Structure 1
Amino acid sequence: MKKEKKPDNVVFNEDTQEYHGKLSPFATGVSAPKITPPDVTSWKNTHIVSANNQFKAEYEALQETYKKLMANFEYNNLVYSAKFNFEPIVGKVYHLYKAKDESTFLSLILPQECNFNHVGSFKLTSDKTWEKVK
């Protein structure tokens, strides 16, 4: 015997033999109200700007960290390439000077106590890097 087809397979449940269109989250008939998705454009635009500002702030922080790192790298290169005839002690402040022949040397002598061209004062840290002293 031929099975009789119900008018709408989308909303008819064969197991319970009932229509469940009223339970559907979508329109199930021609006379059903039109479903319009909410306009999320303004929400997206607001949050895109917010996210972009967050990324920009993180990027600028990374840039600043990079600049400080490169400055420390340059200071370390400058001090380690200088001439000195002693073993620096961690935590002590040393002074970098430029000689007449444009070479650099590290000294314990304070800038006020000599007439050398003072480049900067540096402190040796525990990780053996040089930190510029203001």
Structure 2
Amino acid sequence: MSKIPDNVVYSEENGYNANVLAYATSVGAPAIKMDNVIDWKNKGVRNVNKEFETKFNELKVQYEELMLEYEWNEIVYNAKFSFEPVIGEIYHLYLGKDGANFLSLIDPASWNKEHIGSFKLNSNKKWIHLDSKDDNFF
């Protein structure tokens, strides 16, 4: 029948083509091992999840800082004051006897009022809180 031994790769169409095949063709060839794709995927998922978690935590901190700025601005803009604040000047927020907040130019060391915080008005009309120790006011 066939004069070619069983361990030789030969076909009528391609001839002797063992050297171009993507798989082993003899007993002495190295074993074919499947790559462990599951470990690669798991590592990738862990790395990506860690990156997402880090970015989420950064955004969470930024959001909390933004909300704190918003709350302070809300308090200052709702306080009583009868003057037009000047950009770049420092103003002080106090609690009045009637329980309402009021804004003043007078320094807390100059009188005996309950000082809530000191603020500076920036060019965007946003109040910048200068007393970081008072951030626990809320």
Which of the five TM-score ranges fits, normalised by the shorter chain? 0.7 to 0.9
How far 1:89 sits from its partner (Å)? 0.8
Q: What is the aligned-residue RMSD (CA, Å)?
A: 2.5
1:74 aligns with 2:71: yes
Q: Provide the residue aligned with 2:42 in structure 1.
A: 45
Task: Give the 3-state SS of the residue equivalent to 2:67 in structure 1.
Answer: helix
Question: Equivalences for 1:1-134 in 2 at 5 Å?
Answer: 18=14, 23=20, 25=22, 36-134=33-131
Higher strand share: 1
Higher helix share: 2
How far 1:21 sits from its partner (Å)? 7.5
Deviation larger for 120-129 or 41-50: 41-50
CA distance in 1 between counterparts of 2:21 and 2:129 reads 71
Number of equivalenced pairs: 118
CA distance in 1 between counterparts of 2:59 and 2:14 reads 63
List alignment gaps of at least 5 residues for structure 1. Answer: 1-11, 28-32
Query: Which residue type is aligned with residue 45 of structure 1?
Result: N
Structure 1 segments of 4 or more deviating over 2 A?
Answer: 17-27, 33-37
Superposition TM-score, scaled by structure 1 size: 0.75
Q: Provide the residue aligned with 1:30 in structure 2.
A: none
How far 1:47 sits from its partner (Å)? 2.1
Q: Provide the residue aligned with 2:8 in structure 1.
A: none
How far 1:36 sits from its partner (Å)? 5.0
Superposition TM-score, scaled by structure 2 size: 0.73
List alignment gaps of at least 5 residues for structure 2. Answer: 1-10, 25-29, 132-138
Query: Which residue type is aligned with residue 48 of structure 2?
Result: A
How far 1:24 sits from its partner (Å)? 5.2
Task: Give the 3-state SS of the residue equivalent to 2:50 in structure 1.
Answer: helix
CA distance in 2 between counterparts of 1:57 and 1:39 reads 28
Task: Give the 3-state SS of the residue equivalent to 1:112 in structure 2.
Answer: helix
What percentage of residue pairs aligned between the two structures are identical?
A: 40
